[in-house]
Amino acid sequence: MKYNPFLNFCSVLDKAAAACGIAPEDYEVLKHPERELKVALPIIRDDGRLEVFEGYRVQHSSLRGPCKGGIRFHQDVNIDEVKALAAWMTFKCAIVNIPYGGGKGGVQVDPHALSASELEKLTRRYTAAILPLIGPQQDIPAPDVGTNAQSMDWLMDTYSMMHGYAVPGVATGKDIEVGGSLGRTEATGRGIMIITRLVCEAKGMKKARVAVQGAGNVGSISAKLIYERLGFDIVAISDVSGGVYKADGLDMSSVWEHLTAKKLLKDYSAPGVRHISNKELLLCDCDILIPAALENQITAEIASELKAGIVIEAANGPTSVDADSVLAGRGIDVYPDILANAGGVVVSYFEWAQNLQSLYWEEEDVNRMLDKVMVRAFRDVKAAADEYRVTLRLAAYITALKRLTRAAKLRGIFPR
Residue-wise pLDDT tens digits, 179-221? 999 999 999 999 999 999 999 999 999 999 999 999 988 999 9
CATH number, residue 328: 3.40.50.720
pLDDT of residue 121: 98
The average pLDDT across 360-388 equals 97
Q: Looking at the structure, tell me whether residues 195 and 173 fall in a common domain.
A: no
Q: Looking at the structure, tell me whether residues 227 and 87 fall in a common domain.
A: no
Confidence band of 65 (pLDDT split at 50, 70, 90): very high
The average pLDDT across 74-96 equals 96
pLDDT tens-digit profile of 94-140? 999 999 999 999 999 999 999 999 999 999 999 999 999 999 999 99
In a domain, 7, yes or no: no
Q: Looking at the structure, tell me whether residues 282 and 166 fall in a common domain.
A: no
Residues 6+ apart with CB under 8 A from 207: 231, 232, 233
Distance separating alpha carbons of residues 292 and 340, to the nearest angstrom = 11
Q: Looking at the structure, tell me whether residues 172 and 199 fall in a common domain.
A: no
Q: Looking at the structure, tell me whether residues 296 and 272 fall in a common domain.
A: yes
Q: Looking at the structure, tell me whether residues 197 and 336 fall in a common domain.
A: yes
pLDDT of residue 296: 83
pLDDT tens-digit profile of 259-289? 999 899 999 999 999 999 999 999 999 999 9
Of the three residues 144, 178, 212, the one that is the final residue of a domain is: 178
Distance separating alpha carbons of residues 150 and 184, to the nearest angstrom = 14
pLDDT of residue 148: 94
In a domain, 216, yes or no: yes
Q: Looking at the structure, tell me whether residues 158 and 192 fall in a common domain.
A: no
10 Å CB burial of residue 1 (0-12, 13-18, 19+) is exposed
CATH number, residue 152: 3.40.50.10860
Q: Known catalytic residue: 15?
A: no
Average model confidence (pLDDT) across the chain: 96
Task: Name which of 77-81, 203-207, 266-270, 318-322 the model is least confident about.
Answer: 318-322
In a domain, 49, yes or no: yes
Confidence band of 1 (pLDDT split at 50, 70, 90): low
Q: Which domain holds residue 145?
A: 32-178
The average pLDDT across 70-95 equals 96
Judge whether residue 3 has pLDDT over 80. no
In a domain, 291, yes or no: yes
Write the CA distances from 23 to 13, 27, 397, 407, integer angstroms.
12, 7, 15, 15
pLDDT tens-digit profile of 44-57? 999 999 999 999 99
pLDDT of residue 4: 85
Distance separating alpha carbons of residues 390 and 384, to the nearest angstrom = 8
In a domain, 350, yes or no: no
pLDDT of residue 226: 97
Q: Looking at the structure, tell me whether residues 193 and 140 fall in a common domain.
A: no
In a domain, 218, yes or no: yes
Number of domains in the chain: 2
The residue type at 7? L
Of the three residues 340, 373, 403, the one that is the final residue of a domain is: 340
Q: Looking at the structure, tell me whether residues 168 and 55 fall in a common domain.
A: yes
Confidence band of 5 (pLDDT split at 50, 70, 90): confident
Q: Looking at the structure, tell me whether residues 49 and 136 fall in a common domain.
A: yes
pLDDT of residue 102: 98
pLDDT of residue 320: 87
In a domain, 349, yes or no: no
pLDDT of residue 212: 97
Q: Looking at the structure, tell me whether residues 197 and 141 fall in a common domain.
A: no
The residue type at 59? Q
In a domain, 365, yes or no: no
pLDDT of residue 2: 67
Of the three residues 178, 200, 233, the one that is the final residue of a domain is: 178
Q: Looking at the structure, tell me whether residues 206 and 314 fall in a common domain.
A: yes
CA nearest neighbour of 194 among 84, 311, 341: 341
pLDDT of residue 394: 96
Catalytic residue among 68, 83, 92, 104: 104
